[in-house]
Amino acid sequence: MEQPADVPASTEALMCAYQSGDAAAATALIYRVSPSLYRLFVADAASRGHADDLLQETWLRIHRVRRSYRPGEPVLPWAYAIARHVRIDHYRKARRSTARERSLETMELAEPACESQGFEDLDALLAPLPAAQREVIEMLKFAGMSLEEVARATSCTVGSVKQKAHRAYRRLRSRVLELKLASPGGGPR
Amino acid sequence: MSDIPVSEPAVDEAVSRSLQRARGVAPAVLAGIARSVAGDLRAVTPVAPAWLLAVRLLAACAAVAAAGAAWAGFDGIRGLAPAEGAALLATLAILAIVMARECVARWIPGSRVRLGSGALLAGSCGILGVLFALLFRDHHAEHFVTTGLGCLEQGVLHAIPAALLGAFILRDGFATRPATAALAGGALAGLTGIAFLELHCVNFEAPHQLIWHIAVMPVCAALGALIAWAVTRPASAHS
């Protein structure tokens, strides 16, 4: 499957064409939406090592439930909501398999999902954030979504997303300061 | 916040600097996904508009409550003054409209959610509590537990067909948060059970109405969330 030439149609139009069975539109949509979905998986240490698999699983699920997209609605929050669901499933499975492996004790623990892959800075920065705040920051900052889109993707109210983002920023500011102070020659600027 | 000498752009800069290391998605992965999607591509009909799904849900819930009362008798609503009955039915209808909209939003990914599931449940119980406290002034409580458990059972039994019909109406949807979606669905089904009880039950004692009738909604919501949890748990464990 070749990478499609630059398709000028909007993401929403591509999605509608995909629902109508247009293979070219489906391919164009995959190439357009996948990079930001991928960033979402890569941003989190727990899903980073499986980002390729999670992206494929997300598209399988998107394909299965593509009826649930309503024409006229934004595509990204819809796709993110499904990607988020895939990621949560992945966490649960990873947690269970780790627990099982621990209980057996005879088997070696599988490679932990938290591969750093050069993301030490990012992991150190986001370390103090609880999962819900971290998720909001990932969507706002890494995927470039708006508050409204994050609210739609996470099935929350906009007010709730604002509150989480506000709290996350407060912690992040403290964290940035800590990291600056800790770095050689660092200090608040 | 102002006591931390780090600005918001500094945080953004730190985040984007960290992200610069992120590699992009491999072209081979995208090509593989595109191939597998194209190999199983056929036209599908998009899910109905949200308002239509909400209307269908409302109709199903109203039909269940009315059918139950038609079979058991409309004694409860007949025992109230016309203005009281109108206030009761109007409140139930408004709550049902709000809950049906929110329920649909939770079954269609990426929908706008206006109220959290917990807030929806607590708010609905609170509104019904205030209404019942205003309408029912008899503060006696005879056979409180025995009559109450009977009403709770009847309410939950009427919520079951409403929940099943709701699941059928929303079968083309996809709940990305199954437990909260089922909680909202259970709450709407519970409201159907309450509507049946208000149409049928002739026990106008305030404690009975406030405790046992209202309890139908949280019980059904909790059952819904529990069932969703139980159903989704093994699926993710075995796959």
Choosing from A116, A150, A172, the residue where a domain stops is A116
User: Quick count: other Cβ atoms within 10 Å of Cβ B226?
Assistant: 14
B3–chain A Cβ distance below 8 A for any pair: no
Dihedral pair phi/psi, residue A73, rounded to 5° = -85, 155
More confident of the two residues B18 and A127: A127
Number of domains in chain A: 2
| Closest CA relative to residue A178, chosen from B9, B5, B15, B20 | B5
B23, B41, B102, B171, best to mutate vs chain A, most A CBs in 10 Å: B41
B230–chain A Cβ distance below 8 A for any pair: no
**Which whole number is the average pLDDT over A138-160?**
85
The tokens of B31 are what? Answer: 């090509």
To the nearest whole Å, the CA of A23 is away from the closest chain B CA by 6
Residues of B in contact with A66 (CB under 8 A): 44
Residue A105 has pLDDT above 60, yes or no: no
Q: Tell me if A27 sits within 8 A of A1, measured CB to CB.
A: yes
Q: Output b/e per residue, A155-169; b: 16+ Cβ within 10 A.
A: bbbbebbeebbeebb
Are residues A6 and A70 located together in one domain of the fold? Answer: yes
> By percentage, how much of chain A surpasses pLDDT 70?
75
Residues of A in contact with B8 (CB under 8 A): 169, 173
Residues of B in contact with A156 (CB under 8 A): 113, 116
pTM greater than 0.95:
no
The tokens of A164 are what? Answer: 């989480």
In the prediction, which pLDDT does A113 show? 44
Average pLDDT, chain A: 78
Give me the residues paired with residue B205 across strands. B138
- Do B33 and A89 make contact, defined as CB atoms within 8 angstroms? no
What are the residue ranges spanned by the domains of chain B?
8-38, 50-234
Dihedral pair phi/psi, residue B205, rounded to 5° = -70, 135
In the prediction, which pLDDT does B163 show? 95
CA A70 to chain centre: 22
Are residues A105 and A137 located together in one domain of the fold? Answer: no
Are residues A72 and A165 located together in one domain of the fold? Answer: no
CA dist B189 and A170 (Å) reads 41
Interchain CB contacts (distance < 8 Å): A and B: 193
Dihedral pair phi/psi, residue B175, rounded to 5° = -85, 115
| Closest CA relative to residue A122, chosen from A151, A136, A149, A142 | A142
Are residues A45 and A122 located together in one domain of the fold? Answer: no
- Do A125 and B15 make contact, defined as CB atoms within 8 angstroms? yes
Are residues A68 and A34 located together in one domain of the fold? Answer: yes
Which of A16-20, A72-76, A85-89, B55-59 is modeled with the greatest confidence?
Answer: B55-59
Q: Tell me if B129 sits within 8 A of B95, measured CB to CB.
A: no
Choosing from A59, A86, A116, the residue where a domain stops is A116
Are residues A123 and A104 located together in one domain of the fold? Answer: no
Half-sphere CA count of B154, side-chain side, radius 13 A: 22
Query: Per-residue pLDDT for chain B (239 aa), expressed as one digit of tens each?
Result: 444 444 567 777 777 776 666 667 788 888 999 998 888 888 898 899 999 999 999 999 999 999 999 999 999 999 999 999 999 999 999 999 999 999 999 888 888 888 888 899 999 999 999 999 999 988 888 888 999 999 999 999 999 999 999 999 998 888 888 888 999 999 999 999 999 999 999 999 999 999 999 999 999 999 999 999 888 775 544 43
- Do B110 and A65 make contact, defined as CB atoms within 8 angstroms? no
Burial of B206 (0-12, 13-18, 19+ CB in 10 A): middle
Q: Which of A68, A76, A81 sits opposite B47 (nearest CB)?
A: A68
The tokens of B197 are what? Answer: 């009880």
Element (H, E) at A29: helix A23-43
pLDDT bin (cut points 50, 70, 90) of residue A102 is low
CATH of residue A163's domain is 1.10.10.10
CB proximity list for B219: less than 8 A, separation 6 or greater: B152, B156, B190
Which residue does chain B place closest to A71, by CA atoms?
Answer: B46
In the prediction, which pLDDT does A42 show? 79
Q: Which of B18, B32, B115 sits opposite A121 (nearest CB)?
A: B18
CATH of residue A75's domain is 1.10.1740.10
**Which whole number is the average pLDDT over A158-177?**
85
In the prediction, which pLDDT does A38 show? 86
**Which whole number is the average pLDDT over A89-116?**
60
Residue span of the structural domain in which A182 resides: 118-189
Residues of A in contact with B170 (CB under 8 A): none
